[in-house]
Structure 1
Amino acid sequence: MAAVLDRLRRHRILAALPLLEATSVIAPKSADADSFVEALYERGWITSYQRQALMRRDQLLSLSHYQLLERLGSGGVSHVYKVRDTRTNRLAALKVLHEDAQTNPETLARFEREITVATHLVHPNIVQAIDADIAAGKVAYLAMEFLPGIDLSHVLIQATRVALQPACVYIAQAALGLQHAHENGLIHRDIKPANLLVTVPDSPTAPTAAEVAQSSDGKVLKILDLGLARTQRSSQSDVGMSVTGHGTLLGTPDYMAPEQGRDPRGVDIRADIYSLGCTFFHLLTGKVPFDGGNVMQKLFRHVSEPPPRVERYLPNVPKPLADLVAWMITKTPAERPPQPWIVAKRLQALGLIDSLPIPNLT
């Protein structure tokens, strides 16, 4: 019991009055520490994550000035938490490296690069970085704006596919975010539905999969996860090949450009355009271009097999739109759209999206 009370105080989980009641009223009536924690949870004073962390006694409750509220997701080297900044009382999303990753020089170097990339990008279609720390001897983290939303991979799981008009809007918004990254000399290298979040500005709740799939009205797409991003000038210092010596794939096979499968250090923005094209194909048809098979078989098919046309699965799709998708996922980088803004411009010219702030570049 004393240990739980100490953690509540040290991590500032409860405000002054609830803490006083917890200490003087609830704790004396509780049979043990777990029943005490359960009583706090039933009163709505702690979140489900905090309840579990207090009971297990080995999970993070806070990090620096961030109070952990909920685990939003986990990846190969990190967790992402919904947190509250105790200085401002604002919510944020906190990406924290796994404990074993903290001592991996390659992972730390990649995370440091992600922090550098994220803090230099300010665009309405890219999630905004707020704060970061990667100092030696500390838990490395990256704080980002918290946006109630749903990523397009979950939309596809629940709704199978996205209607034509909203799919075009989401892809155009992603293209504009990628254009900003490109203008800042950056390549994402892992564009896929899971890294494209759809949110409703100023809404406290996320849109449902059905809402996202049926309409883009009032919705904004944000590009997530810059963990594999690199500058276009850093190819010689990049870590690893498409599959590193540790077996780590740099990218996602279902959406990976042929040249990235061969050598991720040599790619440019056109690899992101290919990945965006594969994502576009998936949104429209409910299928990835090369379905089935293991990782190496998928990579081989991206390199060697002609991609299917959208019409194969969506017979009534406008031919100019199908042609655009085919242009984006052509095998040879030189034969794709040279910059992302061209994708958004083409969608606008086809009358498939309303006005967006699309630059007129050459």
Structure 2
Amino acid sequence: MAAGALIQGRYRLQELIGRGGMGEVWRAVDESLGRKVAVKCLKPVSTSADAGFARVLQERFRREARVAAALQHRGVTVVHDFGEHDGVLYLVMELLDGRNLLQVLQDTQGNPLPVPDVMDIAEQVAAALAYTHAQGIVHRDLKPANIMRLSDGSVKICDFGIARLGHDIGFTSRLTGTGVAMGTPHYMSPEQIGADEEIDHRSDLYSLGCVLYEITTGAPPFDLGDAWAVLVGHRDTVPEPPSTHRAGLPDELNRLILDLLAKAPDDRPQNAADVAGRLKAMRAAPFPTSVPAPAPDAGLPFWARDSALRAGGRRTTAPRAA
């Protein structure tokens, strides 16, 4: 695809805004309705040797369209259209004005986000997960790159390409490959690593714990040298409390993140609505209206320390490993 291309006589591509191993995302205009949209295009596979893999990718892409189009929630990206043009599958979505959490973290150069921002993002993601889980859908690839924070502060979950439908487990297993772990290593639950057939919504809650750990401390819970070491960490190692990497972290937030990262699903919060409720209670706690000056600082409470960090550019945690 190229800038200026017209898809199905309707969607005019304007600017490439994202690219991955399997596709591209373009800023575009729906010329029929005169609105701005995002168009995600699946790259065609060029060799016949990859034909089987291409079929799997195409089915996942179709699945993403079907799953996302069925969801109607402010915390989930809206899908407008899906089809095929000149042999290329495309998905038309709302154009989001914001950045994903991976980009947000990159902009902070490894520094964690302010605690009130962490709580706000977490509560919105938990509410969106509560809705999707109520529809029988497990995302299975929740990570910073799949969570968008918009310019107005709202948060949306994206990319349901490997989602599992509760009534459709056999099909999903064939789609992802029996015995093959699907997901992103830094955010995969222990049961995902073993490609457990019993994966349910609590796997997404573990992934949420990984995301919150990272935006709270500046690094994921198991930031190790290679993918296998990361997977073994998820499976076998108890994570260090986030508070060991960030002084002044509220006890309730520290405890929630560790609860989400429990190895056994039964030891985690049992649903996203409960997680959202705990976060709402934390956010309801009063914050002072004025912030003390950041001078000799050791005794400052967490809310003042975050403000001092933003003003003075100092760190409370080590930068992400290269």
TM-score past 0.5 threshold = yes
Q: State the AA in 2 paired with 1:232.
A: G
Query: How is 1:106-145 mapped onto 2 (pairs within 5 angstroms)?
Result: 106-134=56-84, 138-145=87-94
- Provide the rounded CA distance (Å) in 2 between the counterparts of 1:286 and 1:145: 30
User: Is 2:248 the partner of 1:312?
Assistant: no
Q: Does 1:240 align with 2:185?
A: no
CA distance in 1, matches of 2:224, 2:285: 32
C-alpha deviations, 1:28-64, integer Å up to 9, x for none? xxxxxxxxxxxxxxxxxxxxx63xxxxxxxxx72221
CA contact (8 A) 1:152 1:193 kept: yes
For the pair 1:154 / 2:88, whether they are aligned, the reply is no
Distance in 2 of aligned mates of 1:345 and 1:260: 26
Q: What TM-score, normalized to structure 1? A: 0.72
Aligned position for 2:290? none
Aligned mate of 2:128, from 149, 165, 177? 177
TM superposition score normalised by structure 2: 0.81
1:88 to 19, 33, 58: 33
Post-superposition offset of 1:344? 1.1
Contact 1:347–1:353 at 8 Å: present in 2 too?
no
- Structure 2 CA distance, aligned partners of 1:235 and 1:317? 39
Q: Identify which of 234, 249, 262 aligns with 2:194.
A: 262
Q: Which residue of 2 aligns with 1:4?
A: none
Contact 1:250 1:264 (C-alpha < 8 Å) held by counterparts: no
Aligned residues of 1:78 and 1:96 also touching (Cα < 8 A): yes
Whether 1:61 aligns to 2:61 is no
The change in CA–CA distance for 1:66 and 1:270 in structure 2 (over 3 A counts) is: same
- Tell me the alpha carbon deviations over residues 146-185 of structure 1, each in whole angstroms, 9 at most, x when there is no partner: 0111111011111121100011100110111111111111
Cα shift readout 1:227-258 (whole Å, capped 9, x = no counterpart): 111202222222235874xxxx6211111101
2:217 paired residue number: 285
Deviation at 1:120, TM superposition (A): 0.3
- Residue 167 of structure 1: SS of its match in structure 2? helix
Per-residue deviation, 1:315: 2.2
How much does 1:326 deviate?
A: 0.4
1:223 maps to amino acid: I
Instruction: For residue 307 of structure 1, give the secondary structure of its aligned residue in structure 2.
Output: coil
Give the secondary structure class of the aligned counterpart of 2:240. coil
Give the unaligned 5+ runs of structure 1: 1-10, 12-48, 51-59, 201-217, 355-362
CA contact (8 A) 1:242 1:264 kept: no
Separation (CA, whole Å) in 2 of partners of 1:305 and 1:222: 31
What does the per-residue CA deviation read over 1:112-168, in whole Å, with 9 as the maximum and x for residues that have no partner?
Answer: 111110110011111100111158x74211100001111110111111211000111
Identity level (%) = 31
Match of 1:227 among 125, 142, 161: 161
2:282 equivalent in structure 1: 350
CA distance in structure 2 between the partners assigned to 1:353 and 1:174 by the alignment: 20
Alignment of structure 1 residues 90-105 onto 2, 5 Å: 90-100=35-45, 104-105=54-55
Higher alpha-carbon deviation: 235-244 or 143-152: 235-244
CA deviation map 1:51-109 (0-9, x unaligned): xxxxxxxxx72221111111111122111111111111211111111011895211111
Q: Which residue of 1 aligns with 2:296?
A: none
Larger radius of gyration: 1
Separation (CA, whole Å) in 1 of partners of 2:55 and 2:285: 44
In structure 1, C-alpha distance between the alignment counterparts of 2:197 and 2:247, rounded to whole Å: 38
| Cα root mean square deviation, aligned | 2.2
Aligned residues of 1:289 and 1:307 also touching (Cα < 8 A): yes
Whether the 8 Å contact between 2:119 and 2:283 is mirrored in structure 1 is no
Q: Residues 322 and 261 of structure 1: is their aligned pair in 2 closer, same or farther, counting only changes over 3 Å?
A: same
Q: Measured at CA, do residues 235 and 69 of structure 1 come closer, stay the same or move farther in structure 2, by a change above 3 Å?
A: same
| Gap change, CA 1:264 and 1:95, over 3 Å in 2 | farther
CA contact (8 A) 1:148 1:199 kept: yes
SS where residue 141 of structure 1 aligns? strand
The answer to whether the 8 A contact 1:113-1:230 is kept is no
**How many residues were matched structurally?**
276
For 1:302 and 1:121, the matched residues in 2 are separated by 30
Cα distance, 1:352 vs. partner? 5.3
